[in-house]
Every structure is written in C-alpha cells, then in structure tokens.
Structure 1
Amino acid sequence: MSDYNRYGHSYSYGGGYGQGPAPSAPPAPHMPTATSAAPPSSSSYGAYAGYPPAYPPPPSQAAGGFGPAGSGYGFVPVAFPPGTHPDVERAFRAADRDCSGAIDERELQGALSSAYHRFSVRTVRLLMFLFNDPSSSTPSRMGPTQFVSLWDCLGQWRGIFDRYDRDRSGKIDSRELTEALRSLGYAVPPSVIELLIANYSNGVPSNGALDFDNFVECGMIVKGLTEKFKEKDTRYTGSATLTYDGFLSMVIPFIVP
C-alpha cells in the first residue's frame, strides 16, 4: 500500500504542465512563450503542504505528454504530421542515416545531442520507451510521428528548465527541482527529491544539481510513474494496492536502462 495522504491538501496547484501556449517547433532548443505564468490550480487532497497535487491530465490532454501512437515506417517514404516545422524534419532526416524512415537509439542520441547537449544513452532509451508505439513492428526504432512529438515535448521541458535555472548555471539544484516539478503538477516530497538528486550526483550531496539531460530523465520518471500509479488510484485518494508483479511491471521499465 502506498499512501500520500499524510502530505496534505491546503496548497492547491497542479493539474499538469504545459497549460500555457505551446511553443512552436524549434530550429534549435526553444522555450514556451508563457513559462513565467503560475501553474493553474486544481483540487488537491491530503492533510497539508499539497503532497501530492491533483493528478495532471492524461498524455492526450497534457502538453508535452508522451508520444501518440503510430506505426513503424520501415523502409517507406517518410511522412511527417501536418504542420511539422521544416527544421524538425531536417533533424530527423539527418539522423536517419540509412534512409529507412526510422531511427535507432544511437541516431536519436545524435539528433538530440546536436540540438541540446549530450544526452546519455540511458536517457535516450527511456525516451524511446516512453514515446514509441509499443505495438510497432520495430519497437527499437522511432518513426517521424513519435520523433516530432518527442521534439516538441523536449522544447517545453527546456523552457521549464531555463525558467528554474535562475543563476544560468546550466544546472538546477534540489530547491529548483522541487519548484520545477511542482510547476508540472507533481508535488514530490523532499525525501524523494533527495533520492533523485543523489541518483544523478553519484551520491555526493555537494554535487546535487541536474543538467538538462538528467532533468529530463528525472522528470519523465516522475511523470511516468505518477501516471502509472494514477491508473491504480481510481478514487484519487493518494493510495493504491498493488500486486508484487504489478509493482515490478510498473517500476522496472523506468529504472532499467
């Protein structure tokens, strides 16, 4: 049994991130046009301090959600969603070196690293898992539809990262991470924030800051696990009963690179 109720409800916020205007597809890393706006409020539950907030909307409603379903493209002409920015198309085509119409994790890593900064293979694999269509005949490769969805999502995450990286150090510390996740609608307890920071700083507290790559991975794990937990918490009480198999099936995809 997992129980969040002890954290409280007097602070009302959340309801998902990306409620402001969505950023346009970038020729380079881009920022949302209204990231300075406060997160929209919504109902909450618990005892005090707002852990956790009301769940964000599902991916189909939340801006920057996980990629839409689509089929693998294989060796066929590449078809992008209507309105795709030409620079995003060029980024995909440049990464698709064998002109197969789909890219593998190494090609995706190259595309993202050239646009933002070096992405680790672990982060890329997580993104591939989250954004790819599980029914695709090529689950280890990403087609243009999923790539466009991922690119747009990362643009919004970049805007949030820059918003809370107030000292422009290129990293965010535990306090900034708490505020950033809260702006996304996830009120993560301090004890969990400490675990997240330690995970990306080799356990050394003095190194407790995340670069953009780690911030994306961290945020996607929190988002993904919250949405999985939400499926079990049908009454939105902050509690759920899981079987052992169900727990492992929920968590392992997010922690095994």
Structure 2
Amino acid sequence: MFEARTPAARLGLQLLAVVLVVPFVLPLVAMVQGSLAGAGLGNYAKVFATGVVGTYFRNSVVLAAATIALVYVTTMLAAFGFAKLRIAGREVWFWVLVLALTMPEAVLLTPLFVTASTFDVYNQPIAVILPLAALQVPFTVMLARTFFAGIPSELMEAGRVDGASIVQVFWRIVLPLTRPIAAAIVVLTLINAWNAYLLPLLMLNDPGQQVVTLLPSFFTSQYTNDQTGVLAAAVITAVPEVVAYLCLQKYFERGLAAGALK
C-alpha cells in the first residue's frame, strides 16, 4: 500500500485531498444552507405539505429496485459468459457492448419515446426501468468481467469434475464469490436510477407515477420560483441515497478495487 513517509509528502497529500473534495462539498453545503433560508425547517414542511412526497418516494423505490434487479441479473450472467465461457466472437460482442457507453441518454430520448408509444407502455414504470437498466449494463458488465476473470478457473473445473453442470457451477461456486463487485453494482445502479430525471420527465406524465427527482418542479413554474422549496426538496431527495451509500461504502470500495484489478 502506498504510504507518505515524510511530513512534506503527508501535507501534500492532505492538501491534494482537500482540493479534490472542496468542489464537491461546497455545493452540498450551499444546498443545505439554502434549504434552511427564510422559514428554516418550515421549508421542509412546505415540501411535505404538497402531499406527494410519499407517492413519489414509493415510485422511486419501485423504479430503483426493479432497475437494480434487472442490471444485477443481466450483468452477472453476461460478465460470467464474457470472462469464463467459450463463446464464438466473444471479444467482438464484448467490445460492441462497451461501445454502447458512447451513446448519451439525451440522444436516445426521441427513439425511446417513439418505442414506448408504439408498444403502449408510455406513462408506465417499465418505460423508464428498461432504458435505465440498458444504459447501466455496458459499464457494469465491463467492471464485473474483470472481477470474474480473476476467479480461478480451477474452482469451476473442480465443480465440473464433481458432476456439476455449468449452471450449478455459476450458482453455487462463482456467484457467492462476487459479493464485493455485486455491492459496487448495486450502489452505482441505485445512484443512477434514483437520480434519473430526463427519462421520468419524458415518460411519466401521470402525477401518480412520477418520482422524487421531479419533486422540486412543484416550486417552479412560469410565475413562481421558490428556490428554498426547490433546495429543500433536493435535500429530501438526496437523503436516501446518501444513507444507502454510507451503509454499503465498505463493500462498494472493495468491489470497485476488485473490479479494477485483474
């Protein structure tokens, strides 16, 4: 492990850490301070007085849970196949999948809207869940494939010698070893699904289907711009994912480190 041995090196690393952290911390501090301006905690009461916080949170939880489940299952199966199975054109298919990372979400909005309308799923959660999962899968597969490649093939061969099928080897031997990378995938997917804004804004027009990222819109319109309400709604929206990250931080960092090294 890298270690700074001299006082000057330690001071330099500390200053570097501060410089890297400050640009991320200052906006958060400003957001919390702004949410308490004027009426103080009354700004938060104003957000809950809209009567939609519970509905929006429930919809976001359902959307995030479904997206996480879909991304997890798809990623584990695909990463296992790309890392451990003999598949014709495996590398070609893998890099085709990785190329999907270059597709920005904004470019896909129009074709996704047309597709959702064609299949009559507009204004339904699945119209958001499937695109969100598809946008996450290329990166998570790329991350998990490296982790799977680091699992000794001898473990799989031992299972096959004992008579296990490839499905049993995956389920009973390989999958239990993937908990660190699975935690990283869950956290990354949770953050992206919870923070999704463009897709829910486009696909979910029914107030009963909308999610927490649309909560600040209650305080902005053509004639009003209540920034304290917007910031209070933003803080309320951010709390669950911050708590989830803090709970899974250890596993998340371990998974990223394991997925980055072969």
Same fold (TM over 0.5): no
Pair member with larger Rg = 2
What TM-score do the two structures reach when normalised by structure 2?
Answer: 0.27
Name the structure, 1 or 2, with higher relative contact order (CA <8 Å, separation 6+): 2
